[in-house]
């Protein structure tokens, strides 16, 4: 298995609080991604990074920010969580190429 660790794996928090999710990789891969997965939707890209301090927005980036200060760590922050951000969040590494993306096991985030 590719070395991708997401933390925490589960989190429950209240509306309006800040939340930070962490993705850590041991593969030294240049590309890292944050997706969210909701019923009835395919995985949707929030933000991605193509190198240290190099990030770009995906299709559902509103309300989220990211940071990548080291190759191995990619952080996703919800500055002021809302109930619509209740979801399962997946980190991935790999691409763009003909090689597969490798996914972490997700963080289940519930915002009450």
Interface residue with another protein among 22, 44, 63, 110 (CB under 8 A) is 44
Place of tokens 């999710």: 21
CB atoms within 10 A of CB 75: 17
Site membership for another protein, residue 99 (CB under 8 A): yes
Segment 8-37, which members bind another protein (CB under 8 A)?
Answer: 31, 33
> Pick from 112, 47, 65: which is nearest to 84 by CA?
112
Which residues are paired to 88 by β-bridges? 37, 108
Q: Is 95 a residue that touches another protein (CB under 8 A)?
A: yes
Residues that bind another protein (CB under 8 A): 4, 31, 33, 40-45, 48-50, 56-59, 90, 92, 95-96, 98-106
């Amino acid at each position: 298995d590719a070395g991708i660790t997401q933390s925490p794996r589960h989190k429950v928090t209240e509306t309006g609080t800040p939340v930070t999710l962490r993705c850590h990789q041991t593969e030294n891969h240049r590309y890292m991604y944050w997706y969210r997965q909701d019923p009835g939707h395919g995985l949707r890209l929030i933000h991605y990074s193509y190198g240290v301090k190099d990030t770009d927005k995906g299709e559902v980036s509103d309300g989220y920010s990211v940071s990548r200060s080291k190759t191995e760590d990619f952080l996703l922050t919800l500055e002021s969580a809302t109930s619509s951000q209740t979801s399962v969040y997946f980190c991935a590494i790999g691409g763009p190429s003909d090689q597969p993306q490798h996914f972490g096991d997700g963080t289940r985030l519930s915002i009450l």
